[in-house]
Chain A
Amino acid sequence: MTHPDPRRPRRAQGALETQVLAALHEAGGPVTAGWVRDRLAADLAYTTVMTVLARLLAKHAVTRRREGRSFVWLPTADEAGLAALKMRKVLDGEQDRRAVLARFITALPEGDEQVLRELLDQAGDED
Chain B
Amino acid sequence: MGIFVFLPLVLPLTAWPIARLAEQRLHPRTATVLLTWVSTVMVLCSTVCLALLMVVGTAQLPGNPLPDGWSDPEVRESVPRHEVAGKAAIPALLAVVTGCGRALLRHLRVRRRAHAALRGLPPTQVAVLPDAQPYAYALPGGARDRIVVSTAMLGCLSSRERRALFAHERSHLLARHHRHLLLVQLAACANPFLRPLRSAVAYTAERWADEEAARAVGSRKAVARAIGTAALVSRPTPVPTLAALAAPGPLPRRVAALLAPAPSGRAWPSLFTTVGLAVWTAAAGAALSAMFSANSAVTLLLLLRAATPL
Contact = CB atoms under 8 A, between A and B. Distances in A.
Contacts of B209: 102
Select the residue from B110, B181, B258 with max chain A CB neighbours within 10 A.
Answer: B110
A44 interface: no
Given A81-B130, A83-B129, A122-B259, A108 B236 contact: yes
Contact of B150 (A84, A122, A127): A84
Interface in B224-274: 224-225, 227-232, 234-237, 240-241, 243-246, 248-252, 255-256, 258-259
A112 B120 contact: no
A111 B243 CA distance: 8
Contacts of B103: 99
Contacts of B153: 104
Given A104-B168, A127-B222, A113 B236 contact: yes
A99 B198 CA distance: 9
A105 interface: yes
A105 B119 contact: no
Contacts of A101: 110, 114, 137-139, 178
B120 A109 contact: no
B189 to A, nearest CB: 10
Contacts of A14: 116, 119-120
Given A101-B138, A112-B251, A107 B120 contact: no
Contact of B181 (A15, A83, A102): A102
A124 B110 CA distance: 37
A2 interface: no
A121 to B, nearest CB: 10
A35 to B, nearest CB: 21
Contact of B177 (A94, A102, A110, A111): A102
Q: How large is the interface on A (under 10, 10 to 19, 20 to 34, 35 or more residues)?
A: 35 or more
Given A79-B121, A106-B251, A108-B231, A119 B243 contact: no
A7 interface: no
A99 to B, nearest CB: 5
B251 A17 contact: no
B196 interface: no
A13 B113 CA distance: 12
Contacts of A117: 228, 232
A45 B71 CA distance: 68
Interface stretch (A23-31, A63-71, A85-93): A85-93
B25 interface: no
B111 interface: yes
Nearest to B229: A120
Select the residue from A86, A97, A105, A107 with max chain B CB neighbours within 10 A.
Answer: A105
B303 interface: no
B230 A105 contact: yes
B228 A106 contact: no
B172 A102 contact: yes
Contacts of A86: 113, 116-117
A40 interface: no
Given A109-B244, A110-B236, A123-B258, 5 more contacts: A87-B117, A87-B118, A103-B136, A104-B165, A111-B240
Interface of A: 12-15, 17-18, 77, 79-84, 86-91, 93-94, 97-113, 115-117, 119-120, 122-124, 126-127
| 6 interchain residue pairs of minimum CB distance | A86-B117, A18-B120, A111-B244, A84-B129, A104-B136, A120-B228
8 contacts: A18-B120, A80-B128, A90-B113, A90-B117, A100-B110, A109-B237, A116-B252, A123-B225
Interface of B: 103, 106-107, 110-111, 113-114, 116-121, 127-131, 133-139, 148, 150, 153, 165, 168-169, 172, 177-178, 181, 185, 202, 205-206, 209, 219, 221-222, 224-225, 227-232, 234-237, 240-241, 243-246, 248-252, 255-256, 258-259
